[in-house]
Amino acid sequence: MKNIVLIGMPGTGKSVVGRALAERLRYDFVDVDDLIVEAAGEKTLADVLRKRGVNDFLSLESEVAGTLDKENTVIATGGSVVLSDKAMQHLKENGVAVWLETPLSQISERMPDDLADRAIAAPANMTLRDIYEEREGLYAKYADLIVASREGEHATAQQVEEVMRTVGVCL
């Protein structure tokens, strides 16, 4: 069975929706952010980003996602994984990429004032809008399916499942 690879901006709920979807489908669940923290030997994603800087963080994320070898797994990626063509091509080899599309206004409501607190891999001078505009085209490029986020992770997970079944993705 193919993996389900959730992509989208930070704050779209990839991790919580991923857990709910994995439970619904009886799949395993992996959060790439957790694997990055583990690989770096740190306690939090913010620690990794703070100690390594944006470029080294992105390289580590690309390496971790680009070597992930799973089946029957819902994979919640970091919001910046789409910046690595190598990682995305690898994830799509045995996975269906699902973009959890969420309006910028909703994402803004979920983000702290200081984006560094959320461990968003972007230069310090970029606003959330800048990051959204930079990545939106990449999410569209890599997405096999686009699902509009709904209120609550279980509703979004159900929506992902329904869309996948509708288009004939074997689960």
Contact indicator for 20, 8 with CB cutoff of 8 Å:
no
| The dihedral formed by the CA atoms of 11, 38, 1 and 87, expressed in degrees to the nearest 10 | 70
Calculate mean pLDDT across residues 33-62.
94
pLDDT over threshold 70, residue 25: yes
Instruction: Give the β-pairing of 95-101 and 145-148.
Output: parallel
- Range among 1-5, 57-61, 163-167 with highest mean pLDDT value: 57-61
- Interval 85-125: pLDDT, tens: 999 999 999 999 999 988 888 888 877 666 666 678 888 88
User: What pLDDT is recorded for position 113?
Assistant: 66
- Average pLDDT of span 140-146: 94
Token reading at 5: 């690879």
Residues 50-65, mean pLDDT to the nearest whole number: 95
Q: What's the number of CA atoms in the CB half-sphere (13 Å) around residue 125?
A: 0
pLDDT at 168 over 60: no
Contact (CB, 8 A) for 119 and 44 = yes
Residue type, 32: V
Edge-to-edge strands of the sheet including 73-76? 28-31, 73-76, 3-7, 95-101, 145-148
**Global pTM exceeds 0.85:** yes
Q: In this structure, are residues 72 and 11 in contact, taking their beta carbons and an 8 Å threshold?
A: no
